[in-house]
């Protein structure tokens, strides 16, 4: 509204009123343009997703946990030393996948079991030592597949790896194909420093 002082309209307020009145139809026409509406919509979407990404990156989500759905041995959490060499993680790294040779698994079956072990090892290390996991990733995620004679030897090797402070991922098959349910098929050792892993698995031959 314009202000009247002594019967005269304030010139300053009159000018502001006239400018505002003229801008209303201009802004209305501008917002009705398709291009402008698309731009506004995209801006709102980008702002929404950017906010969601920020909250995700700065939140405190729970670490990934292995559900153990027919593929994992719950004893893998034992023997972990938080204050050991794994707190740093330097030099060349690798993951060794030890396959039971006595089960005579087909190549496809063995590959699937090794995939389970690799994923479990990744999830364990993500939970326990992200710096070591990052070092392995930056090193190209080396993986070596070797063979071992039987289950007893496999479990002895697992115990030795745990004593050395290495991540151990034991895989048990669900028994849907080829082998009996609950059979321990593959053990992942690492990722960890090559020299330390070789002390545990260096005597084994390639699969």
- Whole-angstrom Cα distance, residue 99 to residue 105? 9
Asked whether residue 65 is domain-assigned, the answer is no
**Is 207:154 a contact under the CB 8 Å cutoff?**
no
Cα–Cα distances (Å) from 127 to 58, 73, 90, 132, 197, in that order, read: 17, 16, 18, 11, 20
66 Cβ contact partners less than 8 Å away, ≥ 6 residues apart: 72, 76, 120, 123, 124
For residue 87, pLDDT over 80 is answered with: no
Q: Which domain holds residue 22?
A: 4-58
For residue 85, pLDDT over 80 is answered with: no
Give 206's DSSP letter. B
Residues 98 and 24 in one domain: no
What's the pLDDT tens digit per position in 37-47? Answer: 444 444 554 44
pLDDT at 124: 97
Residues 193 and 116 in one domain: yes
pTM reported for the whole predicted model: 0.60
Map tokens 């009123």 to a residue: 17
Domain count, the chain: 2
Asked whether residue 64 is domain-assigned, the answer is no
Ramachandran region, residue 166 (left: φ > 0; alpha: ψ -120 to 50; beta: rest) = beta
Residues 20 and 78 in one domain: no
For residue 71, pLDDT over 60 is answered with: no
For residue 189, pLDDT over 60 is answered with: yes
Asked whether residue 128 is domain-assigned, the answer is yes
Return the closest-CA partner of residue 96 out of 136, 68, 138: 136
For residue 57, pLDDT over 80 is answered with: no
For residue 126, pLDDT over 50 is answered with: yes
Residues 147 and 193 in one domain: yes
Asked whether residue 69 is domain-assigned, the answer is no
For residue 121, pLDDT over 60 is answered with: yes
Q: Return the minimum-mean-pLDDT range out of 31-35, 69-73, 140-144, 155-159.
A: 69-73
3-state secondary structure of 170: strand
Asked whether residue 43 is domain-assigned, the answer is yes
Q: Give the domain CATH number at 125.
A: 3.40.1490.10
pLDDT at 175: 86
pLDDT at 116: 97
């Amino acid at each position: 509204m314009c202000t009247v002082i002594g019967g005269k309209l304030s010139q300053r307020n009159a000018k502001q009123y006239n400018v505002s009145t003229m801008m209303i139809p201009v802004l209305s026409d501008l917002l009705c343009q398709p291009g402008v509406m698309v731009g506004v919509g995209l801006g709102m979407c980008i702002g929404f997703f950017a906010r969601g990404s920020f909250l995700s990156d700065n939140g405190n989500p729970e670490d990934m946990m292995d559900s153990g759905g027919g593929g994992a041995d719950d004893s893998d959490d034992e023997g972990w030393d938080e204050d050991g060499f794994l707190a740093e993680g330097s030099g060349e790294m690798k993951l060794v996948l030890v396959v039971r040779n006595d089960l005579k698994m087909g190549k496809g079956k063995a590959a699937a079991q090794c995939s389970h072990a690799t994923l479990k090892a990744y999830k364990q290390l993500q939970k326990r030592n992200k710096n070591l996991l990052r070092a392995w990733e930056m090193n190209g995620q080396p993986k070596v597949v070797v063979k071992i004679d039987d289950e007893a030897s496999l479990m002895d090797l697992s115990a030795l790896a745990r004593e050395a402070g290495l991540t151990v991922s034991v895989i048990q098959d669900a028994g849907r194909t080829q082998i009996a349910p609950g059979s321990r098929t593959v053990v992942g050792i690492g990722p960890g420093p090559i020299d330390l892993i070789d002390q545990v698995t260096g005597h084994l031959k390639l699969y």
